[in-house]
Amino acid sequence: MMKFSKPALSPQRLIELMGQRGLPLAAPGDLEVARHALRRIGYFRLSGFMIPFVHAAGALRHQFKAGATISHIVDLHDFDAGLRTLCMEALGHIEVAIRVSTCDHLARTHGPHWPLSSKPFKPGQHAPNLKALADSVHFDLDRQQPRGKSNDRPTFLERYYAKYTHPSTRMPPGWMVAECSTFRTWAFLFDALMASEQKQISDAWRFPSGKRIDHAILGSWLHSLSILRNRCAHHSRIIHKAFPFPPSAPKDPSVASLMTGSRTDLRTLIVVMVLLIRSIDAASTWPRKLFKFFEGHVTRVDINAAVGFRAQGLADWRSDPLWSV
């Protein structure tokens, strides 16, 4: 049984440690970059962005590779931060759109208070999903009453709870629930619905060819994107990273070639976001905005390696066919 024994080190001691491991910090400019990075980022977080610049094994394990600089490490951190912001922009549009397509179908088919009905759900899936939806609107299912302080709830919920007191409609309607639920909630809810419901919801989602995105594919993509969304929301590193629950590859000929080989990299999730964004708005400028963001960092960051284009066998990220979708 091993006991943790590493002490907390001062900024100066951390700078000395990086220097001992081969990172050049003698120049005043490099030293100031390092000090500023430790103040605004912290060593432990920064260490995740050191990985591409450090020997992973052998006699030089933990030593920096030749040519590595503190500016390279900080540039990689800032690239990751900017990319997370862009991903959150796309994920926000996707989240709102999946709320709308799911809630609109269920409300029209099963009534405004569809969360209370078990009919749309697979056997055994209604109760846990109802609880998640009820929690999102501060509703106590056991007491059939709102819980918590009124100032903790959105104004529209407070007005609803004050006005509608009949037991059968005490919990807010689905479209109010939709405004309060998370991306993860909707990803899990979609998976919990009967296949017949999923198919009708997926009718609102199309590939660039106009063909419907298969409901099983859509469900897989939502699950995968919920992981990315969680990492972005919690400021976790998304570059040089493998993602669990790789998204299923589409069979539609117009896009099948975009997702071949390993699908655990960020580049694959970018493909998914581009396809869903195009389904929401064919004229969306988000893909172009992403391209320009990459262009702005191409001299400071190895984008092919950081995002996963190289893992797809591409010589250069600019040649990826995803940009022509």
108-127 pLDDT, tens digit per residue, is 999 999 999 999 999 999 99
The whole-angstrom separation of Cα 325 and Cα 287 is: 9
Where residue 147 falls among pLDDT bands split at 50, 70, 90? confident
Quickly list H helices, 181-254. 183-192, 195-202, 215-233
Lowest mean pLDDT among 153-162, 180-189, 227-236: 153-162
Q: What is the pLDDT of residue 106?
A: 98
Residue 173 phi, psi (nearest 5): -65, 165
- Give 49-87 pLDDT, tens digit per residue: 999 999 988 888 889 999 999 999 999 999 999 999 999
Q: What is the mean pLDDT of residues 6-13?
A: 95
The whole-angstrom separation of Cα 145 and Cα 61 is: 59
Q: What is the pLDDT of residue 311?
A: 76
Q: What is the pLDDT of residue 57?
A: 85
What residue ranges do the domains of the chain occupy?
80-137+172-324
Rounded to two decimals, the pTM is 0.94
End-to-end Cα distance, the chain: 53
Q: What is the pLDDT of residue 170?
A: 93
Q: What is the pLDDT of residue 137?
A: 94
In three-state secondary structure terms, 127 is helix
Residue 315, pLDDT > 90, answer no
Name the burial class of residue 96, with classes exposed (0-12), middle (13-18) and buried (19+) by CB atoms within 10 angstroms of its CB. Answer: middle
The whole-angstrom separation of Cα 112 and Cα 14 is: 58
Q: What is the pLDDT of residue 271?
A: 97
Residue 151, pLDDT > 80, answer no
Q: What is the pLDDT of residue 36?
A: 97
Where residue 153 falls among pLDDT bands split at 50, 70, 90? confident
More confident residue, 262 or 250: 250
- Give 285-310 pLDDT, tens digit per residue: 999 999 999 999 999 999 999 999 98
- Give 193-209 pLDDT, tens digit per residue: 999 999 999 999 999 99
Q: What is the pLDDT of residue 26?
A: 86
